Structure 1
């Protein structure tokens, strides 16, 4: 993908000059520190300045999500961990720091010349960018991950859903209706989505293509957010389930329409 050679090129060119390399490393460190500070301040603002119409407010209590690690917020379990993209910063910084050390402090016993340092740094960034650029399904951490749309903890492994964008970023949802609503509410998300995945009801935690799945809407099979939508990998399985639980079968386009108009007709 285009991002891999671009990342490599961006980090190879400073390595022809040790001062340029040291300056690049310093700027990267400062930018990273500023980014982390900005993220922390945003979390604090998000968790302390609540909407006046917020349904749950306890005097004296803040709702600041964790900067890193787990945290319990009332009945919500929040977990914040570095994503794969952070390797794209950590690995080149480590390699650049090692290269600067060799060039500045080991002159008498120089192990690598500038060209070799450039190759070492470029290869490191290339390897770091590969996972960040890959577009593939990510496992849903049931009981820990939060729904991107309703913010509830995802707990039922029969109904989880997922969007993976063209850049490889994954968004998790606790139900089909939450994912469908998010797709239609977020501007440009339909175009950015590379993978739309839902869980096969008969095989919990197994993600399938939302576009090819068959959906059963039955009031006897309540889904987490109340639109009674259940996904199945095969049409025959949907018909079999329909014979037991009644309801109607839908395609993905019909699911989007049902969510848009909040249809619960069976």
Structure 2
């Protein structure tokens, strides 16, 4: 009887251990609106459909307030060991791995840092948004090559002061250099 109990217990333990082996999937962490700041623009990160996240191999997470900020950071940190990147569905705010999402670029969509890019969990939702609001469908694998420029007209409407553009690309060539230094 002791052998039966022993082997039954051993089977349960092995089963639990084997089930745990497959649960190493990287997950995004919860956003704390009171303390989380975007490492690119230093703005507070709201827990909404614009938030994005990079999870590092060591478990550290970086959260961003705009898809554009995440891609600027990725471009500026090419040697980082990244486990996964996440975006949120524009409609239901659920986390999606960035490579599985569908993206719409629309200059009229107000995103936190005016990169005007939003994400969807399925192509049908992205197509529906485009049909109702216009925009361009962009594949996930094309985002690394996207020209991540802020919509400066929209930023002026937000009342943000982004002199120097926080490394987000070129400024207006009449008054600033690429580094944001005044040319006057």
Do they superpose with TM above 0.5?
yes
- Judged with a 3 Å threshold, the aligned counterparts in structure 2 of structure 1 residues 250 and 263 are, in CA distance, closer, same or farther, namely farther
Count of matched residue pairs: 128
1:18-72 Cα distance to aligned partner (Å, 9 max, x none): xxxxxxxxxxxxxxxxxxxxxxxxxxxxxxxxxxxxxxxxxxxxxxxxxxxxxxx
- Judged with a 3 Å threshold, the aligned counterparts in structure 2 of structure 1 residues 134 and 239 are, in CA distance, closer, same or farther, namely closer
Map 1:136-151 onto structure 2 (within 5 A): 136-151=27-42
Tell me which residue corresponds to 1:195. Answer: 84
Counterpart of 2:146 in 1: which secondary structure?
A: helix
Pairwise CA distance, 1:253:
2.5
Pairwise CA distance, 1:185:
0.5
Map 1:14-163 onto structure 2 (within 5 A): 135-155=26-46, 157-163=48-54
Paired residues of 1:159 and 1:198 also in contact (CA < 8 A): yes
2-side partners of 1:181 and 1:217: how far apart? 16
- Judged with a 3 Å threshold, the aligned counterparts in structure 2 of structure 1 residues 141 and 263 are, in CA distance, closer, same or farther, namely closer
Structure with max Cα Rg: 1
2-side partners of 1:161 and 1:244: how far apart? 24
Tell me which residue corresponds to 2:136. Answer: 248
Taking structure 1 as the reference length, the TM-score comes to 0.45
Unaligned runs of 5+ in 1: 1-132
Counterpart of 2:100 in 1: which secondary structure?
A: coil
1:2-24 Cα distance to aligned partner (Å, 9 max, x none): xxxxxxxxxxxxxxxxxxxxxxx
Paired residues of 1:136 and 1:168 also in contact (CA < 8 A): no
Taking structure 2 as the reference length, the TM-score comes to 0.64
